[in-house]
Chains A and B, each alone.
Chain A
Amino acid sequence: MEIMNRKQIDRLNNIEKEISKIAQEMGLSTTETEFEIVSSRKMIESIAYRFTSNFSHWSFGRDYDKQKTLYEHQGAGIPYETVWNSIPPKAFLVETNPVILNILVMAHVYGHVDFNLENKYMRSAADYMDLAREARNAEKRFREYEREYGLDAYEQTIDSAFSVCWHLPPDLLGDQEDEEAYRERLINLKTERIRGIQKREFHQDKHEIEKLKSEISKLKHKTPPLPVYDILRYVMDHSPKPLEDWQKDILSTIREQTMFFEFQKRCKLLNEGWATYVHLQIMRRLYEKKLITPEEHMEFSSFHAKVTRENPQSLNWYRVGLKLYEDLIYRWNRGMHGKRFRETKDPDKWTTYNRKHNKGIEKIFEVRKNYTDRMAIEEFFDEEFIRDAEIYLWNETVDPQTGEIKQFIAEDDPVRIKQVLKNYFSLYGTPVITIEDGNYNNNRELYLKHEFTGQELNPMMESGALENLYYLWGKPIHLETVEIDRNKFGEPAGIRKLLHSWDGKKHSIEKF
């Protein structure tokens, strides 16, 4: 049985004090942070369940199995860090990890703590800081639901909620107005406009007034009055099924948790990059202060290399995020930005370009304070950066010889990659789908619309998602989406509107 001994824990405590001091010297915000020493099993569980504890569901079990397999295959040391943006922030250290790895994790966590305290976006997620505790309470309530209403209904409800939970309002911080209040406001606006027209002495546009009046009468009955992005919330409030209270509780809990993760998702690159940048600085200082041995420093370097290794199939946030901050330091130290720099077209001159501004550190502190990933990508991912960071897009195709699916680089042109990245990050991977009508066919059927932004939907997943949504709504579901018409070379030649419906028994697709 492995139990970390008191001496080791004392050392971690001393180093933690030092890390906190170094962080403050660097200009980072710090706060009392709880580091809990746990077993690897618990660490893996908390990764799978997203919180130290959460409600029970097979998909968490699946992720637990997956993480465990990964852990067992990679051998010693679990270089994961989990930190919860709560008050006080809390992080896990794995008892069987080498001491140096735990020191690295602490240094890294200090980066996250600063980011979460300082970044505008993360600060506004403060409403969700109690969610870890909420999750623990949800576990107890949900256990009762499972017992009371049976595993099938319990799982179906959660599965269905997970199917659509990422469809949140684009602006997470905006006021979430009640539908009736919103309807009233819209009607008042239009009534005001009619009054405005009627007040005119001339040019009383009768036609316009009639139009506004008919819009008002439609608004009185239309649900939702305007298209809605927040699918779970709309379903929770308006499902004709009707949903039972326990199901509403599940939907609302999952929606809240997703909101919390959505905030993190929108700053993932900047947050992980920042923490990686911070841990590099802190580890160097610890070494200079002789608080870690040369052997430990070597060990740290190899862990760091592992964490920032390039990933052929996905964006390694640690690597690309760190690279972004390093690039910003370099460019802002030399004044390589702004109009004057951009006019220096000759790339040969770039290597020697140096106006000795030394504003690099200032710049990265500003970026970590005011930016989201989307903003950073739009502004700083230029051709050079994308090329330097060796970012590409890949696709899959079936290898006709072996039947295997082959993954290959589909695009290495920085200009087009940037376009795709911008599209992707403007929505953070979730297609835009709105609820257009909650009373379609005058039968309380649900009509959804997919806003085309360049990509079709995966048809297999789409069918399943419609079926799941039907479980929550209890009436036919319709999805308006698109199909790309292709010419004989397989190139896009136009788009065609589709209406995919599921009535609880069969799928039908109408093409326009």
Chain B
Amino acid sequence: MRSIGVSQQRITLQDSDEALLRGISPEMPSGLGELARRYERGLLGLALGLLNGRADLARDAVQETWIRVMRFAASFGGRCEVRTWLYRIAVNQCRDLATWAARIPGELPQEHAPAREEANVAAADETRNELRRRVLSLPADQREVVLLCYHADMTHAAAAEILEIPVGTLKSRLHAALETLRAELKLEDVA
């Protein structure tokens, strides 16, 4: 059993998310490291998508998410999963940052491009940037839904809970968003 010595409290890798969260407070953020190890990469990816590929803003959003986790961990009541709670905080932070940074569409990321062969990398980046622009042109509620639903292994129920909307609403927004994207990309089998 590996232990993480970030604080006086002993944290084990087998601890549940709830147990980790219970040990977090602004004065003693024990357990935050393990929680971050489990979710930070996912949160960064989602923030990257929601912030139009701005890696710097994504880092800010996730860092602010951890700050809020430390602040409000004591108020977590267990009505939802810790993962849902974390993603909800991150989504809210991304919304705030997107409002604040009006220049988001101006820059597209270069630094996190996967290390592949040069030609493939350039083509993939071009495609991704084109798709990112099209996603950005979607209404905000549809944009959040489509990015969240295709993020990692996110289920529709979990995404609906994060966005605090009914599953039916989420599915209708997702359908509308996909229809728009397929039409713009001129894919033949439009649903």
Judge: A and B partners, yes or no: no
Residues of B within 8 A of A (CB): none
